[in-house]
Chains A and B, each alone.
Chain A
Amino acid sequence: MSEEEKKVVAQEATNNPTAGEVSVNSLAYTTGQEVVKAEKKEKRHMGLKAKRILGNTVVYIVLVIMSIIWLAPFVCIVLQSFRCESTWMTGYIIPHKWGFDNYVRLFKNTKFPRWFLNTTIISIATAALQLIIILCMSYTLSRLRFKGRKALMNAMLVLGLFPGILGMIILYRILADLNLTQQNAIPGLILVYTASSGMGYYVSKGFFDTLPKSLDEAARVDGANRAQVLFKVILPLSKPIVIYTLLTSFMGPWGDFVFARYVSFGTSDGMNVAVGLQNMLGSAGSINANYTTFCAGGVVVAIPITILFMCLQKYYVEGVTGGAVKG
């Protein structure tokens, strides 16, 4: 069939909508080509597949190596916490003699239970109070408009650039004057942890920013005052950020060893776990006596926190991602 004929057919096909749907000659025309194409395609496909498998294998290898690196220290610490033959730092990983000696020592010879209790009380109180303060702050800055809002946010930004560690000297003195140090360290620490927690409103504000403004407006039109908007509309929607805030503020006190040491100065009754355990590795002599006990303490502290974190991981991830997008 000549070029001209083809054209005519094509034209016919387009002019007649019903007849145009099938056209035999081009069907025949394609079959020959298709065979060649199919062969080519197979070759290309095999290449692609092999490449993908190779790529995935490389990724798996990297991930396995990374997992080993990430897990190794934690495996080591668990293994060493069961080592009985010596309390020293040693150059090998697998204990020669297994046992619970270190755990027994941890609970009998040190005030670890007291520290653990202290930290738990502090954490729970801090989490509850911080939640209230952070929610107040972030909700206000995100969803209410008032004079001085921008100025307030800028002021917070500037304040945040001062290193907080320096304030310790004076905060310690204030707490000392209020008689909230040493044996009374628990309320003192709670006060300090929560008092200025309003500065950390960013992640939470980022979350509130994403809730549509029309929710507030609808509720207000329906006759709610601003407090009712918060309690009846926004808070029920804020479960993820509430959990995120609770989780992060609960975990904070477990890791504080700088200010907590200041405040509990000299007494072991007022210490939290971080200070108590860190003291075990304070000097060379202390390391030799307490290294494995520290490992045991680390395991005891890490397990509940890690379990809690893993359970609430979903909310943590949401918070982190939201914070990233918002800056």
Chain B
Amino acid sequence: MARVKLTNVKKIYQGNVTAVHDFNLDIADKEFIVFVGPSGCGKSTTLRMVAGLEDISEGTVEIDGEVVNDLQPKDRHISMVFQNYALYPHLTVFENMAFPLRLLRHPKMSQDEIYRRVTEAAEVLGITQYLNRKPKALSGGQRQRVAIGRAMVKDCKVFLMDEPLSNLDAKLRNQMRAEIILLRKKIDTTFIYVTHDQTEAMTLGDRIVIMKDGFIMQVGSPSQVFDKPDNLFVAEFIGAPKMNIVKTNLVKEGSKYYVTPFGSKILVDGEKGDELKKRGYDSQEILLGFRPEHTVLAKKAEGACHATIAVNEMMGSELHLHVVTDDGAPVIIRVPTIQLNDKEREEMVAGKEIYFTFEGKVMHFFNPETEVSLFYDEPVTLEEVNEKVEEIKKDVKELKEKE
């Protein structure tokens, strides 16, 4: 139950390899935050610096207002679940879970209390009947539960999880994900969760930190990173199947904006259009992004794009069509199966020519050189924060005076 604050945290390994660059993040009390990114992006390193398993090269990590840079892991009041479970093979499940409690000194925990806590946690996780077994005799999912249970029994300020589900098969992973959501409600503490799986990140996190090569690419709620990606990397990383990206032109005609991908012409309307207008963009070359789920099959008409199906993937509820447009660009189109009758569905095979178009409201625009979103705002500087604080102070003062 604590706020965790990372300020200018850096990790530099010997030989000047920088694994984490200038990491700044303020995690609120009881927040569930997820670090996500491809392997080698520094997410695990950051987590391990919070845990105290890696030295912090520069910057500070605060837990509950206390700088913990020089504290031993045990003095940081954290719990951690490891990717490979890290269960002690020589101890039974019960003893594995009781391990952190038995190490407590001042005051020493009584046997009854240990028993109560462990059995309670086991009850929650549904592993009561395995308490007397050794980890060897458990399945992967059960071992994972034991590992979570061992982290649960202790009172901790921050609960760290390092890719806890990556060793499980797909079905079990979905199930455990749901259980972690429930668990989170029960434990009610600050969570930092590391994963490489964007689905996990989207479903679990209050906020998601997307990282690449040791840099934070974006921090935001799942809907923020999905709807308003700051840059091309985030746009492509979040969402499955991947967002389609095409190099094209933004055309301003009067007060209206159009994009012209694949020889078509599509009006940018809704919020996006307004935003473009507000920011006063001119006609220019851009990278246009649109998600497969925002495409629609169309009749041959003005503005529709023409393409040929290369591969069709039947997913059951939907059809993923990998098509190639006339100028050779690959595009993925997602068609809910409910929109097609049987005959149409059968026709959707490689070689068939189709027309498609997409919503103008949900397009994304990126600068082709910097790959940054046209709607990206620079993070607020220190001065601005200071101003804000002053403003709030004023407001609070006024409020008090009124009272």
Contact = CB atoms under 8 A, between A and B. Distances in A.
A contacts B directly (C-beta below 8 A)? yes
Interface of A: 1-2, 4-5, 8-14, 16-27, 29-30, 33-34, 37-38, 41, 44
A18 B396 contact: no
Nearest to A13: B26
Task: Report, nearest first, the 6 A-B pairs whose CB atoms are least far apart.
Answer: A21-B24, A19-B380, A14-B28, A41-B70, A18-B379, A17-B219
A10 B389 contact: no
Given A12-B392, A17-B219, A22 B60 contact: no
B3 interface: yes
Nearest to A8: B392
A5 B26 contact: no
Contacts of B28: 10-11, 13-14
A291 B7 CA distance: 76
B379 A37 contact: no
Contact of A30 (B67, B216, B385, B396): B67
Contacts of A12: 388, 392
B207 interface: yes
B73 interface: no
Nearest to A26: B5
A18 B380 contact: yes
B219 A37 contact: no
A44 B29 CA distance: 30
A69 B26 CA distance: 60
B220 A34 contact: no
B396 A23 contact: no
A1 B386 CA distance: 13
A22 B392 contact: no
Given A21-B379, A41-B70, A14 B31 contact: yes
B382 interface: yes
B377 interface: yes
Contact of A24 (B221, B385, B392): B385
Contacts of A37: 67, 70
B26 A10 contact: yes
Contacts of A5: 389, 392-393, 396
B65 interface: yes
A29 B224 CA distance: 31
Nearest to A44: B70
Contact of B396 (A4, A13, A22, A24): A4
B223 to A, nearest CB: 12
B389 to A, nearest CB: 6
B3 A19 contact: no
A24 B389 contact: yes
Chain B, interface size category, equals 35 or more
Nearest to B60: A30
A17 B382 contact: no
Contacts of A21: 24-26, 216, 219, 379
Contact of B67 (A18, A20, A24, A33): A33
Interface string B381-397: 01011101100110010
Main secondary structure of the interface of B (DSSP, over half): mixed
B3 A24 contact: no
Which among A2, A20, A25, A34 has the greatest number of chain B C-beta atoms within 10 A? A20
A22 B7 contact: yes
A27 B7 contact: yes
B31 A24 contact: no
Contacts of B221: 17
A280 B382 CA distance: 91
Contact of B207 (A11, A17, A34): A17
B285 interface: no
Contacts of A4: 396
B269 interface: no
B386 A20 contact: no
A17 B224 CA distance: 10
Contacts of A14: 26-28, 31, 207
25 contacts: A2-B396, A4-B396, A5-B389, A8-B392, A8-B396, A9-B392, A10-B29, A11-B28, A12-B392, A14-B207, A16-B380, A17-B220, A19-B380, A19-B384, A20-B25, A20-B219, A21-B24, A21-B26, A21-B216, A21-B379, A24-B385, A24-B386, A33-B67, A37-B67, A44-B70
A30 B62 contact: yes
Contact of A23 (B29, B66, B216, B385): B385
A63 B207 CA distance: 54
Which among B24, B65, B216, B385 has the greatest number of chain A C-beta atoms within 10 A? B385
Contacts of A30: 60, 62, 65, 67
Given A21-B216, A30-B65, 9 more contacts: A1-B393, A5-B389, A9-B392, A11-B28, A12-B388, A14-B31, A19-B385, A23-B26, A26-B5
Contacts of A18: 219, 377, 379-380
Contacts of B24: 21-22
B295 to A, nearest CB: 29
A10 to B, nearest CB: 6
A26 B219 CA distance: 20
Interface in B1-37: 3, 5, 7, 24-29, 31
A29 B65 contact: yes
Given A9-B392, A25-B389, A26-B62, A20 B26 contact: yes
Which among B24, B26, B380, B382 has the greatest number of chain A C-beta atoms within 10 A? B26
B383 to A, nearest CB: 9
Given A17-B207, A17-B220, A33-B67, A22 B31 contact: no
A44 B72 CA distance: 11
Nearest to B33: A14
Contacts of B219: 17-18, 20-21
Contacts of B216: 21
A17 B60 CA distance: 19
Nearest to B392: A8
Interface string B205-219: 001000000001011
B380 A24 contact: no
Nearest to B68: A37
Nearest to A4: B396
